[in-house]
Amino acid sequence: MTLPLGDFDYEYPESLIASAASEPRDSARLMVLNRAEERLEHGIFRDLPRHLKPGDCLVLNRTKVMPCRLFGKKTTGGKADLLLVRELSPTVWTALASGFKAGQRLEFPGGMTAVVEGLTDEGEYRLRFAASDLRPYLAEHGLPPLPPYIAKKRVPSRADAARYQTVYARDDGSIAAPTAGMHFTPELLEALEVSGVIVSYLTLHVGRGTFRPITSEDASAHKMLAERYELEPAEASLIAGARARGGRVVSVGTTTTRTLETLAARPEGFGPGSGESSLYITPGYRFLGIDALITNFHLPRSTPLLLASAFAGRERLLSAYREAVSLGYRLYSFGDATLVL
């Protein structure tokens, strides 16, 4: 079935793109879209406990963003700005960049160098670094991989590292943040648990698949790139137990959603597991693993927007987006949040 990409467009002033996060984290605005009641409500993210019930299970993605943005130069002159994508070995990584040639030598702050070995089938450059293990260098010199629409407004700095990260991040491996979770504070998580909400965690390492643009005007032709996930047995038991007792599974973010739906769609049904997911959720998809969704405002014509449209209903969601824009909600990674019930 054809899925016109233009059906997932909306207008907004560029001034609404948030270039810095709200402080404190839970002071971001929250738009609540109640599907059953066809009602919109506007509030603050720290009011979230008011919208959830005892016995609901909140599921969060505890992947940790790597400092994988590097700014260097070619030894022949010119910039060597890149986003590291995949670790093939401690010394060899793939990266997104432009204008490199096989055999070129690149120089980075702190004396690090790399040689371009060529392009992969996925269109990423393969780089061999002059280090026994690149990760300690990244910890000292790498920058947070802020999205292009933020990076074009200002230069990323190491000061962004803590804020472009969730407070519960644990498992190193993402090249972009699971941004819906960035609104939570330790105090808010505690308040939710005190109110009777169960808090559970999984990991999906955000890769190119999450933010790769849809290039076909028929969105159904798009293919998601695989991303690694894991749900541990104890966490799976919390989620399954909550649902069995009548609680709702409240998914925080599109990456959490794709992981839960991948696991729920297995022949053996929902349970713990690990592997790679390339699940592409579009309108018409039948959700098996989640009952409510917390997510940020997404770019037009993007795979996260299609997923949110599949869950909320396209017309309903885009109508809510238009109202949010008229009310000055802040958009995208550092912006405000939505709760779809």
DSSP codes, 300-338:
TT-HHHHHHHHHH-HHHHHHHHHHHHHTT--BSTTS-EE
What is the token pair recorded at 273? Answer: 């597991």
Determine the pLDDT at residue 27.
98
Q: Report pLDDT digits (tens) over 178-199.
A: 999 999 999 999 999 999 999 9
Determine the pLDDT at residue 158.
85
Q: Whole-angstrom Cα distance, residue 311 to residue 296?
A: 14
Within-domain flag for 231: yes
Could you say which of 97, 114, 142 is where a domain stops? 142
**189 and 131 belong to one structural domain:** no
Within-domain flag for 211: yes
User: Taking all residues of the chain, what is their mean pLDDT, rounded to a whole number?
Assistant: 97
Within-domain flag for 268: yes
**43 and 111 belong to one structural domain:** no
CB neighbour list of residue 159: distance below 8 Å, 6 or more residues apart: none
Within-domain flag for 153: no
Within-domain flag for 154: no
Determine the pLDDT at residue 154.
84
**93 and 210 belong to one structural domain:** no
Within-domain flag for 152: no
Q: Which pTM does this prediction carry?
A: 0.96
- Report angle CA 224, 225, 228 to the nearest 5 degrees: 120
Phi, psi for 312 (deg, rounded to 5)? -90, -25
Within-domain flag for 184: yes
Determine the pLDDT at residue 157.
86
Could you say which of 79, 109, 142 is where a domain stops? 142
Could you say which of 142, 173, 204 is where a domain stops? 142
Domain span at 331: 5-65+162-340
- Is residue 147 a contact partner of residue 156, using CB atoms and an 8 Å limit? no
Determine the pLDDT at residue 279.
98
For the chain, the domain total comes to 2
- The count of residues in the chain is 341
Within-domain flag for 274: yes
Instruction: Give the domain CATH number at 130.
Output: 2.40.10.240
**46 and 13 belong to one structural domain:** yes
Q: Whole-angstrom Cα distance, residue 31 to residue 33?
A: 6
Determine the pLDDT at residue 152.
81
**52 and 74 belong to one structural domain:** no
- Is residue 180 a contact partner of residue 173, using CB atoms and an 8 Å limit? no
Instruction: Give the domain CATH number at 295.
Output: 3.40.1780.10
**211 and 84 belong to one structural domain:** no
* Helix or strand holding residue 243 (H, E): helix 233-244
What is the token pair recorded at 334? Answer: 């550092």
**74 and 172 belong to one structural domain:** no
**92 and 120 belong to one structural domain:** yes
Spans in the chain with pLDDT lower than 50: none
**329 and 184 belong to one structural domain:** yes
Per DSSP, 35 falls in state T
**219 and 138 belong to one structural domain:** no
**132 and 95 belong to one structural domain:** yes
Closest to 159 in 3D by CA, of 54, 249, 67, 271: 67
**106 and 183 belong to one structural domain:** no
